[in-house]
Amino acid sequence: MHAEKNPRKNKVSHTVANAAGPETGTVQEAGSASSHNPLLGHATSHAATLVGLAAIVLWGFMAGLVRLVSESFGATLGSALIYTVGGVMLLIVRRPKPIRRAPRKYLLLGGVMFVAYEASISLSIGLATTNAQSVEVSLVNYLWPTLLVLMTAALSRKHGAVVKALPGAIVATIGVALAVGGESLNVQEAIGDIASNPLPYLLAFAGAFIWAIYASVTPAMSEGYDGTTIFFCCVAVLLWIIHLMSGDGLPAATPGIGGYVALAACALSIAGGYACWGYGMLHGNMETLAIGSYATPIFSTASSTLLLGVALGMPFWIGVALVVAGSLINLWFARRP
């Protein structure tokens, strides 16, 4: 059996190497270029990279839509309904291959990380006691693009890649803090909030770290199997358990048509985002996706202001400029040999 598979593997490797670096002229040179250039990396399709970047746009609508759903259905019931409807959408559009084909290590570790991320983020937001803490916890969660960029650089095995990624990561992270925190962000107050109620911040940071690991490690572990739909449905089950244990029950007032529209839109935003991201991770360029993920909080803040009727101040636009600048710095360093 192994003797029959090896020639096929060599043929696939030959094709991928030429696709990744056609300008190199030889298979050996293409393989060398891809191993030293993380932007070429394991990319097999530019279209898949674009699909992965579409997740950033879809996730951008998540925060505002979740707020609208929570107002209509309650926090715990709303979350359970969002992931249930989203799970049904994924089962229709992205029905997974037979589970027996999935590597057990990927199903176990990938599934645990996916569910742990969602649980940590949900709990961190729920444990925030004030609006200011909610903003601060969101900022901690939005460290995941920075962590993902640094982890991707480390996994690229390119000499000095992490050091070169740091300047852009720092600039972009400051931009995220300004864009999301805006004029309400106060460093001294934030330190006091962390000291008085550290658990939500620890959970948010753990979630950011877990997601960065998941996004950077699972593509190689999956062997091409996409378990996003399975993992998403597992989150739905967990959220129903949390809702039933919370004792919140049904909403006091029957939600209007607007609540159901928001529920469908939110489920599409979150489930569609995960589907696009999963496809992009498996078949696209991971470092490009990592750098592009800096835009997630920008889209999130902008869409929330539109959905919730909040004006954008000057700190937001300064933050956008810094995020763009940090991303360009990362791209410039990544393209250098």
List average pLDDT for each run of 10 residues in the chain, which is 337 residues long: 42 37 35 39 71 89 81 87 95 90 93 91 74 74 85 80 83 79 70 83 90 89 91 94 85 88 93 92 84 80 67 72 79 67
Q: State the pLDDT at residue 17.
A: 37
Q: State the pLDDT at residue 324.
A: 79
CA 105 vs. chain centroid, Å, equals 21
Q: State the pLDDT at residue 38.
A: 39
In whole angstroms, what is the distance from residue 316 CA to residue 11 CA? Answer: 50
Q: State the pLDDT at residue 56.
A: 87
Q: State the pLDDT at residue 229.
A: 94
- Tokens standing for residue 151: 């982890």
Q: State the pLDDT at residue 213.
A: 92
Q: Are 284 and 45 in contact (CB under 8 A)?
A: yes
Domain boundaries, the chain: 44-335
- Tokens standing for residue 252: 């006091």
Q: State the pLDDT at residue 55.
A: 92
* Positive/negative CA dihedral, 72, 73, 79, 83: negative
| Helical H segments across the chain, by residue range | 2-20, 27-36, 46-60, 62-73, 75-93, 104-105, 111-127, 131-141, 144-155, 161-181, 187-196, 198-222, 228-246, 257-283, 286-292, 295-308, 314-335
Q: State the pLDDT at residue 39.
A: 38
Q: State the pLDDT at residue 334.
A: 65
End-to-end CA distance of the chain: 40
